[in-house]
Amino acid sequence: MPLDPAKVDLDPQARTLLEVIALAGRIPYSEITPPLARAQFAELCRRTRKAAEFPVSVADHALAGPAGALRARLVRPRAAGEAPLPVLAFFHGGGWCIGDLDTHDAALRQLAVEAGCAVLALDYRLAPEHPFPAAVEDCFALLQFLAAEGGSLGLDPRRIAVGGDSAGGNLAAVAAILARDAGIALSGQVLIYPGTDFSRERPSHDDYAEGFLLTREAMAWFGGNYVRPADRHDWRASPILAPDLARLPPAVVIVGECDPLRDESRDYADALRAAGNEAAFHLYPGMIHGFFTMGGAIAAADRAIAQSAALLGRVFAS
**Residues acting as catalytic residues:** 166, 259, 289
Q: What is the dihedral of CA 224, 229, 231, 236, to 10 degrees?
A: 50
- Please check whether residue 136 is in contact with residue 144, taking contact to mean a CB–CB distance below 8 angstroms: no
Q: How many CA atoms lie within 13 A of 288 on its CB side?
A: 26
Residue 140: CB atoms within 10 A of its CB come to: 24
Q: How many CA atoms lie within 13 A of 166 on its CB side?
A: 24
Q: Quick one: 182 exposed, middle or buried, by C-beta within 10 A (0-12, 13-18, 19+)? A: exposed
Return the SS3 of 202: coil
**Calpha distance 234→302 (Å, rounded):** 34
**Calpha distance 182→176 (Å, rounded):** 10
